[in-house]
Chains A and B, each alone.
Chain A
Amino acid sequence: MTRHEFEVAMTCEGCSGAVSRILNKLGVETFEIDLPKKLVWIESDKDVQFLTEALKKSGKEVKYVGTK
């Protein structure tokens, strides 16, 4: 399992709530969201492109930071 760090342009609890619902729906095993820092950590074996596309469904800007 790899731990990936993404920067997602979230500004409120609605935004982070939307992101976590998307990840839940995907069946992503483990994730953590830091709203003030606009960071999302995902532990998954799925590839980065798949995860990026999924996060982009929220309509927010998504940037892959790297493995953390």
Chain B
Amino acid sequence: SASPLMSVITIHIEGMTCNSCVQSIEGMIPQKKGVMSAQVSLTDHSGVFEYDPLLTTPEELREAIEDMGFDAFLPVTNS
């Protein structure tokens, strides 16, 4: 039941080595305005984030993860 104002982005994250890193990101990022959920995978080196595109952008999410001290990359769009 996704609302129309919800987008999903997968962000590649480097530098996580344990579950505590995962939990830090899952705990911090949803505190940002416009972020609904964060699901981070240690094995995939990535996080899936649900966000409201009117309140935040993938680039802002990427920066927030960088601010926490990790390397974060947005997917390359094939357009």
- Pair A18/B15 contact, Cβ less than 8 Å: yes
CB of A66 within 8 Å of the partner chain: no
B20: which of A11, A17, A20, A22 is its contact (CB, 8 Å)? A11
User: A51 CA to B78 CA in the complex, in Å?
Assistant: 41
* Complex interface: chain B residues within 8 A of A58 (CB): 24, 68-69
- Pair B20/A12 contact, Cβ less than 8 Å: yes
* Complex interface: chain A residues within 8 A of B55 (CB): none
Instruction: State which residues 1-32 of A face B: CB under 8 Å.
Output: 9-15, 17-22
- Pair B18/A18 contact, Cβ less than 8 Å: no
* Complex interface: chain B residues within 8 A of A12 (CB): 17-18, 20-21
> Residues on A close to B: CB < 8 A?
9-15, 17-22, 57-60
> Residues on B close to A: CB < 8 A?
15-18, 20-21, 23-25, 27-28, 67-70
